[in-house]
Chain A
Amino acid sequence: MPESTPFTSRRGLLFGTAAVGAGALLAGCTSNEPDDEPAGNDDQPAAADTPGKAVTIGFAGPQADHGWLNAINDNAKNRAKKYSDVTLEITEGSNDTAAQIGQIETLINKKVDVLVILPADGKALTQVGLKAMRAGIPVVNLDRIFNTPQAYRCWIGGDNYGMGLNAGHYIGEQLKDVDDAKVIELAGLDNLELTKQRTQGFDDALKNYPNIKKVARQAAEFTVESGQAKMAQLLQAQPKFNALWNHDDDQGVGALRAIEQAGRDDFVMVGGAGALAAFQAIKQDNGVLKATVLYPPTMAASAIDLARALGQAKGVSGLSEFEIPSSLTLYSAVVDKDNVDQYMPTGFK
């Protein structure tokens, strides 16, 4: 039997047309337009800061494949726009070490004045950091730290241990009058060092409260889907507990969904990172989520501030030092309903 050639057959044609039509229809549905403007940080450049020498800042980060990294890019761009004397050279984000090295080398060749680098992998990009420093370009290392301090002029980043510590203290204070309080932890991706640091901080803080015991810990993967799946299991495993710390607000969307599906509301939940959805839930104050511990994406804006100061050979206003510090660890503030309005503009999607 000869095979019909479906491209010319009527059925094939109809099929093709239907597919193209459906495709056209669908294409209209990819828009996310009506979204609000991405929230920037609070915005005025530091007071009494007059424009100075023109500075070109090169910025290289990983691919912005989730909300927090997206916010990093937005913060850097918006901050640079506020300064009339700053030109930002931003590269296409990449998670590939080799690609990011190439991008940074291009920035070095372009002779930018200062580099801000958020490496996809801190250890793997140490060499290119060194190369920039040797070429006389000061490097501001953002968050994921290089192997050696020689590879950066200034490191600025979040405090994972402090995040756990502050989450633990907040929960400890909430539960200090409860006898035999039970706490559970929904951690992030377990093969990352930062997850271990967060858990360590959390455990250390809880040691100050002898009435509290951590009864369960499961690791999700920073995704909504994994947050829902792991939280559903945790809720089944622990019919009664008093508080929950979730490392990440992205997976927290899934965790909250699981909590809603299980119909549970008999505990306090604290989040992590500082997503807009979490801030909104905290403000509404009608669910279990009462607070979140920051891992502030505004660090990218501060990195631009530092890079500009380096380019203009200034210190940091408010400190008596002539030079900017070599290392800045940001504080992981706890945001609850009392201060949520202040942080709302920094929330990311």
Chain B
Amino acid sequence: MTQPVSPPRDSTDKVPSTGQLPAWRTTVARADVRTLSLLGVLAALIVVGGITKPDEFLDTRNLQLVLTQGSVIGVVTVGMTFVIMSGGIDLSVGAIVALASVWATTVATQEYGFAGILFTAVLVGVGCGLVNGLLIAYGGMVPFIATLAMLASARGLALQITDGATQIVTIDSVLDLGERDAYILGIPPLVLVFAVVTIIGWLILNRTTFGRRTVAVGGNAEAARLAGIDVRRQRLYLYLLSGLCCGIAAFLLIILSGSGQNTNGNLYELDAIAAAIIGGTLLSGGRGTIVGSVLGVLIFTTITNIFALNNLQSDVQQIAKGAIIVAAVLVQRRTASTT
């Protein structure tokens, strides 16, 4: 997952009508440079962490910690990348994570044990995604508005279910997955899920017609329609996919925090969008890579980790985080345009 992997595809080679080899080559090279520059940013952060806190930062436990903390938002970001690539946006991801995590941890759900919690979390995520998808694809609503409405309603419903209380999980088989004993060859189960979601996401985007259609719809929806793609159905599936990712993320969050709370997933939408954009996904659609988005997530999580290890306070953290986002995007722009 941290490998630069093979050059993630770019949009232009999939939009019908263009297909000359030179153009294709430059696009691939450009995407590759973009990914490499992200790896450069990550490497620079690792150097900073290693210099400022060598013992605490360069430590297996810290690597496990960073990857674990990145898994929840990472899974959400994979779904978000698909949606943004298709020219859409999903502002409801945080609220869906909150609703799914709350619904899956009620006293009634917990009676069904591990399976009940997993099933409910995933189904609530998919259900919300379905509503988003139907409203956008067939209801003709603008994604921004439809998902904004979902954001409000899902948060409201989450609050109604919990009544403001923190719902503590008492199912040991769920809680155990977050403990050190559950690590497989030193890899936390949450990180494994994140890795699997990333790989599947990469395969779908790069090796299936579904992925090509997504890029085509994002690049030029009208051209895609004329080329015979059912654009509306494609959009429906994309929001379903994002909802599914939120459901999985909610389950991971339940394992991680051992509870469900209506404040969960606070501002995930912004974090996921920021990670995708840093990763080189075009906000207007048509271009993006899963590897880039995941690197974006890892950059964010590593920044947070380095700040905390150095005991920097919230004010400094926020200022620096904003500056680093700008720097990362500028570095990428520059390296991408000079090739």
Contact = CB atoms under 8 A, between A and B. Distances in A.
A263 interface: yes
Contact of A30 (B56, B103, B257, B265): B103
B206 interface: no
Contact of A26 (B103, B164, B166, B253): B103
A294 interface: no
A286 interface: no
Nearest to B311: A216
Contacts of A190: 313-315
Given A70-B165, A224-B257, A233-B304, 4 more contacts: A30-B103, A237-B308, A250-B166, A257-B258
18 contacts: A22-B123, A29-B103, A29-B112, A30-B108, A32-B161, A34-B107, A65-B263, A190-B314, A218-B308, A218-B311, A224-B261, A225-B256, A225-B266, A233-B305, A237-B53, A237-B310, A254-B257, A349-B165
A3 B107 contact: no
Interface string B110-129: 00100010001001100100
Interface in A219-262: 219, 221-230, 232-234, 236-237, 239, 250, 253-254, 257, 260-262
B232 A3 contact: yes
Chain B interface main SS type? helix
Contacts, number: 160
Contacts of B314: 190-191, 219
Nearest to A220: B314
A29 B259 contact: no
Interface in B120-156: 120, 123-124, 127, 130, 138
A340 B108 CA distance: 29
Interface string A1-38: 10110110000000000010011011011111111000
A26 B124 contact: yes
A67 B166 CA distance: 7
Given A236-B65, A253-B166, A19 B130 contact: yes
A32 B266 contact: no
Nearest to A70: B164
Most chain B Cβ neighbours within 10 Å, of A70, A223, A233: A233
Interface string A190-212: 11000000000000000000000
Given A7-B138, A70-B164, A30 B106 contact: yes
B65 A3 contact: no
List the 6 closest A-B pairs by CB distance, nearest first: A233-B308, A190-B314, A31-B108, A349-B165, A223-B263, A29-B109
A229 B305 CA distance: 10
A64 interface: yes
B229 to A, nearest CB: 9
A224 B68 CA distance: 16
A337 interface: no
B108 A28 contact: yes
Contacts of A67: 164-166
A144 interface: no
B69 A232 contact: yes
B167 interface: yes
B178 interface: yes
Contacts of A88: none
B261 A263 contact: no
A217 interface: yes
Contacts of B168: 253, 277
Interface string A50-78: 00000000000001111101100000000
Contact of B108 (A22, A29, A229): A29
A7 B134 CA distance: 10
A237 B166 contact: no
A33 B165 contact: no
A227 B263 CA distance: 12
B135 to A, nearest CB: 14
Contacts of A1: 228
Contact of B313 (A219, A226, A239, A275): A219
A29 B65 contact: no
Contact of A263 (B112, B130, B180): B180
Contacts of A250: 166, 261
Nearest to A11: B233
Given A26-B127, A32-B163, A233-B305, A3 B120 contact: no
B1 interface: no
Given A230-B308, A239-B56, A33 B107 contact: yes
A191 B127 CA distance: 35
Interface in B308-322: 308-311, 313-315
A30 B161 contact: yes
A221 B315 CA distance: 13
A264 to B, nearest CB: 11
Contacts of A253: 166, 168, 257-259
A238 to B, nearest CB: 8
Contacts of B304: 229, 233
Nearest to A219: B314
B276 to A, nearest CB: 21
Contacts of B178: 257, 261
B230 A3 contact: yes
Contacts of B265: 225
Given A228-B256, A261-B178, A349-B166, A35 B62 contact: no
Contacts of A28: 108
A67 to B, nearest CB: 5
A224 B219 CA distance: 40
Contacts of A19: 127, 130
Chain B CB within 10 Å, residue with most, of A7, A64, A65, A70:
A65
Given A1-B228, A236-B56, A217 B313 contact: yes
A182 B311 CA distance: 14
Contacts of A34: 107
B113 to A, nearest CB: 12
A19 B130 CA distance: 9
Contacts of A63: 159
Interface string A97-112: 0000000000000000
